[in-house]
Amino acid sequence: MSKLIGIMTKRAFLIHGWEGYPEEGWRPWLKNELEKRGFKVYVPAMPNTNHPNMNAWLKHLTKTVGIPDKNCYFVGHSLGCITILRYCETLQKNQKIGGAVLIAGFTSNLGYKELNSFFTKPINWKKIISHCKKFIVIHSDNDPWVSLHYGKEFFKKKLHAEIIIERNMRHFSGDDGIHKLPSALKSVLKISQ
């Protein structure tokens, strides 16, 4: 019986972005809110966050998740979003995850060579949606780094994602004064029902 309970536990993985860290911004708040609702929450410190490398980040995320299943939910911020999508590309044919919430995500290097390793090949949208059917994308109408077109032109069209546009949240970081993000909590709860 204890094995059955373990299998049914919902797990959430909160993936920070470039130069981010687990305790930054809204992640501690979201971790606490999800734990109150029975989730087991992981907030890994991604390796070499100042000089991120896709292979190192994928290896770390894969190790953190272990065996993925339909009770695994992901929340990515900024570079954490493409990390989650690239992770979905690596899953085996029969492996599925429950869903993903992508906050301030993008599909190009935004002009920063430091992010090139994440964009050396086209994104395999078809493979991603074969492993994950539920996506919610959250963008800000005044993000100085990530334009709204990423949500509308890529995530909505390619992933059939629900799009939420927040007002005046900039890049959703602690530096922007964002220490709670109710739309992220609502989104995780929605995709995990």
Domain that holds residue 14: 2-191
Q: Which of 64, 65, 18 is nearest to 175 (CA)?
A: 18
pLDDT tens for the 193 residues of the chain, in order: 344 445 579 999 999 999 999 999 999 999 999 999 999 999 999 999 999 999 999 999 999 999 999 999 999 999 999 999 999 999 999 999 999 999 999 999 999 999 999 999 999 999 999 999 999 999 999 999 999 999 988 999 999 999 999 999 999 999 999 999 999 999 999 999 9
Which secondary-structure segment (H or E) carries 130? Answer: helix 125-131
| Closest to 171 measured CA to CA, from 65, 68, 78 | 78
* Count of CA atoms in the C-beta half-sphere (13 A) of 69: 9
Integer Cα distance of 150 and 171 in angstroms:
14
Report the number of distinct structural domains present in the chain.
1
Any idea what the CATH number is for the domain that residue 137 is in?
Answer: 3.40.50.1820
Q: Distance between CA atoms of 4 and 16, rounded to whole angstroms? A: 31
Tokens found for residue 123: 């994104």
